Amino acid sequence: MTAAGGQGVDDKQSRRKRNLVRAITETAAAPVLALIILAVWQVGVPLAGISDFILPTPWQILRRIVVDHRLMATHAGVTLLETLAGFALAAVTGVGTALMIFYSRLFERAIYPLLVALQTIPKVALAPLLVLYLGYGFAPKLFLAFLLAFFPIVIATVVGLNGLDKAMVNLVRSMGASEWQTFFKVRLPSALPSLFGGLKVGISLAVIGAVIGEYVAAERGLGYLQLQASSQFDTTLSFAAMIVIAALGVVTFWSLEALEKRAVFEREAAR
Amino acid sequence: MKEPAPVTARLHGVSVAIENVTKTYELRDGGDLLALDRVDLTIAPGEFVSIVGPSGCGKSTLLSLVAGLVPVSTGKILIDGEEVRRPHAKVGVVFQTDLLLYWRSVMDNIMLPIEIKGWRRRDYLPRAARLLEQVGLAGFESKYPSELSGGMRQRTAICRALVQEPGLLLMDEPFGALDALTREQMIIDLQAMWLSVGSTVLFITHSIEEAVFLADRVLVMSPRPGRIDLDRTIEIPRPRSWRSRTDAKFIEYMSEIRGIFETRGVLKA
């Protein structure tokens, strides 16, 4: 082997090493930052003489979650169900509405201003009314989750469908494609990245909707649990419930992202 | 020079008759825009016809009409004697941009028209492979468009138009988006392709040189409303090569067409 060849191999090895180091650093960045924040919190609270009634330490919160895991799981299950039901309804009706907006100019003209107006109403303000109309049970939570998730799904789907190059439609039409074929071969696949963007925003908002519903009137769910804890000055439980709500948001978001990875071809992936 | 292997049997090129075709578009302000004005044109089976004209002269409109994408306002268009009312099964179209679907591999992109027509994929796989080989893309079947250069992408688009064995190939400024050198090569390759495939070709361009080099007949269109100003048969033997460009006849055709653009005010001296 020539010296130059040896050099090349060395270069390759050092590059590979560099890439590996970078990959490890990037993966570790978020957990390390989180650990630093938690450590400062853990050490800082007793040092500053703050009582755990005002601000419990992370360790206390974690212990509480573990000790009360049955309680947590029961309430989390309720909130998760409300979130998923509201989100599913929003996904189906949102994509449906987007399709009608896309295919009918009249419908677009009629519905768009209403949608925007609806979107500007603070949904929290609706919550007490929903209790009045729908009662204390599952329905108002589902509805709030649906209401928050609906708008971003509609908008993202319409944007995705409109983003298709007119020439692309002409191309498939020149091959004799029906509108049905055009939709499934070209329109839908090219709208998918945007559609999934809307779904991901939607599912995180659905969690918020469900919890807001529980704040107002509920007998179950993480929002209810947190409100109860606060009213009994059990700050640690309140924090614990909040952490579980956040975890719920992250898990549902990730599940959707995992689905997206399977359904959507990433442009970058092939580069 | 190496002769490319013929792609299965030569196709039966179709004839095209454009009879007194006018196209008007309704404008939003209520007015009408006359895009094409009484165009008459016949293309013989297997003929390569170029249409050259300034931007906005309606040459792309004419192609959309022949493709059956847009209805004519008056007159009619016949492909093999059959009036065009919708996209014809024997017509393949290549547009200015490649319009490949980024989520499909090269082979899956080429198979798109086959899927849409509901034909059996495996019946056309050998033909697709031969076409890819002919455009120098053998071995690229499972690559994705983002892995290809602009020229390779447009070659794939040409294979996609040819896989369905079209009797007529419509090309709308297919090399307009490519860099100058790639374009030179594409012109040479398209000629070789056409010589072996045998389809009728209607080729739209704004390059006079491209039109003269490729075509059996060059049609010059006037600025809007589009009308055919000149119909010139190009008598330069095939296969044409770089050297054909310095041919006295080649230069003569070029200056004749330039002259027409000059009298029309498209080109100024």
Domain residue extents for chain A: 1-50, 58-270
B93/A165 CB distance under 8 A: no
> Among all chains, which residue has been given the structure tokens 């996609």?
B160
A270/B69 CB distance under 8 A: no
Closest by CA to B221, choosing from B73, B11, B60, is B60
CB B35 within 8 A of CB B226: yes
Average pLDDT value for residue range A231-237: 93
Q: What is the per-residue pLDDT for B225?
A: 82
3-state secondary structure of A254: helix
Q: Which CATH class is domain A58-270?
A: mainly alpha
CB A148 within 8 A of CB A198: no
Q: Which amino acid is at A50?
A: I
B contacts of A183 (beta carbons < 8 Å): none
B contacts of A168 (beta carbons < 8 Å): 99
Q: What is the per-residue pLDDT for A9?
A: 62
Q: What is the per-residue pLDDT for B3?
A: 46
Q: What is the per-residue pLDDT for A268?
A: 53
Instruction: Give the residue from chain B lying closest to A263, CA to CA.
Output: B103
Instruction: Report the number of secondary-structure helices (H) and strands (E) in chain B.
Output: 8, 10
pLDDT by residue (tens digit) across A40-92?
999 999 899 888 888 999 999 999 999 999 999 999 999 999 999 999 999 99
Length reported for chain B: 269
- How far is C-alpha A83 from the chain's CA centre? 11
Q: Is the peptide bond before B71 cis (omega within 30 degrees of 0)?
A: no
Closest by CA to A91, choosing from A127, A138, A145, A134, is A145
Structure tokens at B102: 């980024």
A contacts of B164 (beta carbons < 8 Å): 175
Q: What is the per-residue pLDDT for B8?
A: 55
CB B169 within 8 A of CB B46: no
DSSP assignments along A144-195, one per residue: HHHHHHHHHHHHHHHHHHHTS-HHHHHHHHHTT--HHHHIIIIIHHHHHHHH
Closest Cβ–Cβ partner in A175, A190, A271 for B112:
A175
Contacts 24+ apart (CB under 8 A), A222-225: A222/A75, A222/A76, A222/A78, A222/A79, A222/A248, A223/A79, A224/A75, A225/A71, A225/A72, A225/A75
> Among all chains, which residue has been given the structure tokens 């268009």?
B77
Average pLDDT value for residue range A10-26: 87
Instruction: Give the residue from chain B lying closest to A174, CA to CA.
Output: B87
B contacts of A173 (beta carbons < 8 Å): 69, 87
> Who's near A114: CB < 8 A, 6+ residues apart?
none
Q: What percent of chain A has pLDDT over 70?
A: 94
Interface of A with B (CB under 8 A): 165, 167-168, 170-177, 181, 185-186, 189-190, 264-265, 267, 270-271
Q: Strands of A41-92 (E only): list them.
A: none
Structure tokens at A136: 């204390």
Alpha-carbon distance B52 to B211, whole Å? 7
Cα-based distances in Å from A128 to A268, B15, B106: 46, 73, 56
Alpha-carbon distance A67 to A90, whole Å? 36
Q: Would you give per-residue pLDDT tens digits along chain B (269 residues)?
A: 444 444 456 778 899 999 999 999 888 888 888 889 899 999 999 999 999 988 878 888 999 999 999 999 999 999 999 999 999 988 999 999 999 999 999 999 999 999 999 999 999 999 999 999 999 999 999 999 999 999 999 999 999 999 998 999 999 999 988 998 899 899 999 999 999 888 999 999 989 999 999 999 999 998 878 888 899 999 999 889 888 888 899 999 999 999 988 888 777 76
Q: What is the mean pLDDT of chain A?
A: 90
CA dihedral B182, B184, B187, B188 (to 10 degrees): -110
Task: Name the DSSP letter for residue B14.
Answer: P
Rounded to the nearest angstrom, the minimum Cα separation between B173 and chain A is 13
Instruction: Give the residue from chain A lying closest to B104, CA to CA.
Output: A265
Judged against a pLDDT cut of 50, whether residue A5 lies above it is answered with no
CB B222 within 8 A of CB B57: yes
Alpha-carbon distance A228 to A214, whole Å? 11
CB B109 within 8 A of CB B132: no
Q: What is the per-residue pLDDT for B5?
A: 46
Residue-wise over A54-69: b if at least 16 C-beta within 10 A, else e? ebbbbebbeebbeebe
How deeply is B48 buried, as exposed, middle or buried, from its count of CB atoms within 10 A (0-12, 13-18, 19+)?
buried
Closest by CA to B227, choosing from B17, B61, B14, is B61
Cα-based distances in Å from B89 to A144, B85, B128, B135, B197: 51, 12, 18, 24, 17
Q: Which amino acid is at B54?
A: P
Rounded to the nearest angstrom, the minimum Cα separation between A169 and chain B is 10
Rounded to the nearest angstrom, the minimum Cα separation between B182 and chain A is 22
Q: Strands of chain B (E only): list them.
A: 16-26, 32-43, 48-52, 74-79, 82-83, 91-94, 168-172, 200-205, 217-221, 228-233
